[in-house]
Structure formats: C-alpha cells, structure tokens
Chains A and B, each alone.
Chain A
Amino acid sequence: MTALPAAKPRLLAGGAQQKILAFASLIVLLVFFSLASPNFLQTANILAILQATSVNGVLAIAATLVIITGGIDLSVGTLMTFTAVIAGVVLTFWGLAMPFGIVAAIAAGAGCGFISGSLIARMKIPPFIATLGMMLILKGLSLVISGTKPIYFNDTPSFPQLSTGSLIGAVVPGLPVPNGVVILFLLALAISWVLTRTTLGRYCFALGSNEEAVRLSGVNADGWKVAIYALAGGICGIAGLLIASRLNSAQPALGLGYELDAIAAVVIGGTSLAGGRGSILGTIIGALIMSVLLNGLRILSVAQEWQTVVTGVIIIAAVYADMLRRRRAG
C-alpha cells in the first residue's frame, strides 16, 4: 500500500498535485477496505456507495462554484429540501406531469440562489450571514408549505426512476448504475466545462482571486456574482429532485447539516476556502472519499461514534496537506 502513484507530484502544477493527492487517498481507502473485508468490493456495495454520493456530490458541485468566488453557501442543504417540496407541490398537490415538477424544482432553486446572490452582491451582506439566513428561511418554508408532513410521489409512478432507475442497466444487464449517479457525473462534466471554458467560469475564478481588480477593469462584478449563486441554486434543485426521487417523498425536515457535508467534500477535493482556486474533479473525488470512508467503516463494523471521529480526522488531514503544499509552492 506504500507504493502509490504520487511518485512524481512535484513535476505537476499545484492544482493537479492536490487532485492527485486526493485521488491517491481515494485509492488507498479503496484498497484498504477491499483487503479488510470481502464484502466491500462487491458490485452491489459499490453501487450503494455511488448512490450515497449522488446527492452530496451534486450539492458539493454547487458549493464549489460559490467557494471559488471566495464566498460560502450555507443554504445548499435546506435549499435542496425546499426544491424537493416544490416538486412535491407541483406533482402531488397539483397533479401536473413530471417535466413540470423538474422545471419547477430547478427554477425554484435558481430563484433562491438569485436572492442569495443579490443579498450578497447588491446589498453587501456577508455571504456567511446572507446564506445562514436563507438556510433558516428555506427550512421554515419547507415545513410551512408541506404542512410538516412528507409529500409522497405515489401519483407519479415514474418519479422514483429519476434517481433509482437505471438506463445503463437496461442496456448493459448486470451493471445497474442508478440514474442518479449518471446525472451526477454528467452534471460534473457540464459544470467543469462551464468553469474552464466559459466567461462565467473565468469570472468565477477572477472574483475569488481579486474581486477589486475585476471591478476596476470595468466588469459588472455584482451581476456575475448573482449569476453564479443562481447557477449554484439551480444545481441544488437537481439535488432536491434526486433525493426526493430516491425517497419517493419530499421530507420537509431534512437538509440541515447537509451543507457541511458538501463543504467538506469541496475542501477535501482541494478547493480553497479563500477562493480563486478549485476544480469540480477534485470535489467529486472529495465526495467519493467521504462516502467510501463512511461505507467502509460501516462494513468493518466500526462503532458509529468512531466513524464520526475518523471522518473529522480525514477532513483536517486533507486540508493540512493542502496548506503544506501551498506553503511550499509559495
């Protein structure tokens, strides 16, 4: 286990090095758990790990965008719940067809992201405070709208298929990768493209490295910031659809604390909380590390209280490694 593919990291650029470190950690975990228990490396279990990653992975993608701008979004978890409830209202209370529910959830997410972004960019409320407020507002609204009870999707029989069905499994029997996982990876590719190939992506990094410089060069910095928060909100809408589909219900009390899991995945993946630096690939690896770790510890029957301790240790170790690397580079 000591001979790991991190042999030549110094030849690579800084960002790539952290990604390789994170990737190496993921491989170490996979090898370790596979050796420790014969039950770990089974198709069903690997699929369960991927399924468990899908929601947190999508939320972490949203969080990555905001964190690269040097901001933070504490509302991703309850926004996810809010959009799930909106889907429930459209599909179950109003009885509309599935596409309406999907569009409504994503639009509601983008709308809330737009509000958060406006509070931050136009009213200059610090991101931590603005999204903390949104987190509580959305948690409350989810309970109010749903009447504090779960909304079930029994009238829309195809809705659970969105996350738990498997198009791949239909084509390749024996490989029933849930659709939710496919959606996560497609979304990761799309947002990765946005970040590296579009104007929005460039301003995302620029705002995080030096917001003042962006402003002084005559760019509408506030407008771009609002757009980024709105995009992140829309992505939370996708997470809301995935979790509602998986549970065949919108659970209104859920969501608090999920923002911290998302931020942890982002940070493990090497995105800097100071902004200006980060990648979607890193975030996906970070999210996978978290769910592989949790699943593996469960497979090894490690007591639940110790699972939490080990997860905390891994987060600190990952961030410390990132700091060391940056100190050496700087």
Chain B
Amino acid sequence: MLTRRTLMAALTAGSLLATSGMALAQDKLYIPLISKGFQHQFWQAVKAGADKAAAEFGVEVTFEGPDTEAQVDKQMDMLAAALAKKPAAIGFAALDSQAATPLLKQAQEAGIPVIAFDSGVDSDIPATTVTTNNVAAAALAADKMAELIGGAGKVALVVHDQTSRTGIDRRDGFVNRVKEAYPNIEIVDIQYGAGDQLQSTEITKAILTAHPDIKGIFGANEGSAIGVLNAVKETGTTGVVVIGYDSGKLQKDAIRAGEMAGAITQNPVGIGYETVKAAIAAVKGETLPATIDSGFAWYDKTNIDAPEIAAVLYD
C-alpha cells in the first residue's frame, strides 16, 4: 500500500514540475535542443542563451544532453522523445552524425526543421548550422598579434590538426589575414600537435630553438595554447607574445599572470540564442544561410572580468 502512496507522491511532484511547461506548450512554438552535453559549463552557457531567446521571442525551449559525450545511445533516446512531442523545430548537436541519421530522416519526413549547432551535423538535413566563424575569429587573433608585436617580425602557429574543420579554418583565417594585411610579418612555421599539451610543448620548443628571434606564437585551441605556454615557460624564453583560443583554468590564469597576451573565446551563449532564433525563422519558412555565426570575442588581462566576457569563459 505504501508503495503506491510513495509513488503517487513522486508522480505528483513530477506533474507539478511539469505543469508550468505544459500550460505554456499550448499556444507557444515548442523547440527542444538536444545537445552534446549538459553539466559542463560550456553547455550550461549554451542553455542560458537558448533560454534567453525563448523569453525574448515567446517560445518554449527545453535543453537536454547526455552525461558524457560518449553516450550516443542516450542522445538518440532524447532525440526520439523530443520528436514524439511534435515540436515546431529541433536544435541538434550530433555526438555521432551517422548514428543520428535515421531519426533525422524521421524529422525531415514529419516536416520538422532541424537546426544544427556547435560542431553541427554531418548531413544535408539541417536547415542551417549555428557555429563560431572560426576563420573570422582567427583573423582577429592575427590582428591582435600584429598589434602586440608592432606589425613586423616572425610568428609561428601551433594548430591541433590539419584535417578537422576547426583546425583548417583557424589556420587559414590567421595565415590569410597576415598575408593580406601585414606584409612585414613572416609566418615561419605551422605545426600540428593534435591538441595534446605535451606534444604541442615539444613542437613549440623546436620552433623556439629554430627561430630564436621569433616574436609571437598562436595556439589554435586550448590544448595547443597550453602547450605553447609550457614550452615558453620551460625554456625560460621572454618577449614572445602568446595568443590562445577558448578558455579553461590554465589559460585564464596565464592571461591574468601576463604569461599569455590574450585569447579568442567562442560565444556559447550566442550559440544557444542564435539556434533558437534560427529555428523560429525556419518554422516561418524564411530562407536561412548555410551557417550562422554565433560570435566570438578577444579577451586579455584588461577585460577578462568584464561581465560579457566572464559569462562566456569556462574553467
């Protein structure tokens, strides 16, 4: 007997939690976002952006993601439940595009627009992809580098890889900007360290040995940037401008301590916000560009604690 009472209590609690959502669901557009994660600060920032857009445009948004980026099957269960709710549109960041294809086709057949976000979905089903414009972001890093080394001298890049979209875009964004705007800056080396801190450290040490007069090094993701930083510290090199990408505790500490000049941060809040906005546009039948830039920003010692920057940085 007691089971039923306990169970009913739990169910009542559940239904109370649900009522607010259900009451809203009747006349508002419903847009679930299925993300690659949930607890991580980065994903909570994406969720905050989505919630902000939901309040602003008067739609109902839910945000779910598996506990770890390995749980591909749990993400499928979330996507299946989201589809069962007959949503107006769906935001989706695939853990594994191939595994998700059957469900995405199901969405397509039901006429539910899919908006890919973050790393996106490797498929032609999504109406658009909301992501960081890595080319423009790396070009901003090049501008800052030029400013900090006085527009002339030798620089090098340590990139995570030459095959991934982000690796290619960040390298080309930086290199092309230097070529077109700063004729006195010479890019002496581009090396790939798989985003691994240790590997990137060794690569950077080799660069520092080969080019003792080097003025600056750009690390194209968190692991690469930490690697560059470690090498500069271990060799006791001074006067080299280090520019990083993304955040994380080590980079933030290095920037505060002045060991790193600054870094580019992506805007997870913007990713969530733009995804919901694009979903609404897709429901209305508006044409969307193939990709939507969610924004990025430069941060250094001077603005690291500014509210708009602190909100997008993570440990």
* A254 and B14 form a contact (CB under 8 A): no
Chain B residues contacting A291 (CB-CB under 8 Å) are 77
Mask, B87-124, CB within 8 Å of A = 1, is 00000000010110010000000000000000000000
Q: Is the CB of A301 within 8 A of B62?
A: yes
Does A168 make an interface contact (CB < 8 A)? no
Residue contact B72 to A164, C-beta cutoff 8 Å:
no
A32, A254, A298: the one contacting B82 at CB < 8 Å is: A298
Report the count of interface residues on B (CB-CB < 8 A).
43
**How far apart are the CA atoms of A313 and B10 in the complex, in Å?**
7
A248 to B99, CA, bound (A): 6
Chain A positions within 8 Å of B70 at CB level? 251, 253-256
Docked pose: A29 CA to B8 CA in angstroms = 9
Query: Which one, A47-55, A85-93, A184-192, A194-202, is touching chain B?
Result: A47-55
- Interface: A132 (CB within 8 A): no
Task: List the B residue with the shortest CB-CB distance to A312.
Answer: B10
| List of B residues within 8 angstroms of A318 by Cβ | 3
Residues of chain A at interface, number, CB under 8 A? 55
- Say if the beta carbon of A182 comes within 8 Å of chain B: no
B81 and A48: CB pair below 8 A? yes
Q: SS class of chain B's interface: helix, strand, loop or mixed? A: helix
Is A219 among interface residues, defined by CB-CB distance under 8 A? no
Please measure, in the bound complex, the distance between the C-alpha atom of A21 and the C-alpha atom of B70, giving whole angstroms: 35
CB atoms of B63 and A295 under 8 A apart:
no
Q: Which A residues are CB-close (under 8 A) to B99?
A: 246-249
Which residue from B6, B77, B96 sits with its C-beta under 8 Å from A48? B77
Tell me whether A152 and B15 are in contact in the complex, defined as CB-CB below 8 angstroms, given that A48-B81, A247-B73, A294-B77 are known contacts.
Answer: no
Q: Can you give 9 contacting A-B residue pairs, CB < 8 Å?
A: A6-B4, A28-B8, A42-B84, A249-B96, A298-B78, A301-B60, A314-B7, A314-B10, A320-B6
A interface with B by C-beta (< 8 Å): 1-2, 4, 6, 21, 24-25, 28-29, 32, 36-37, 39-40, 42, 44-45, 48, 51-52, 55, 150, 152, 164, 243, 246-249, 251, 253-257, 291, 294-295, 297-304, 306, 310, 313-314, 317-318, 320-321, 324
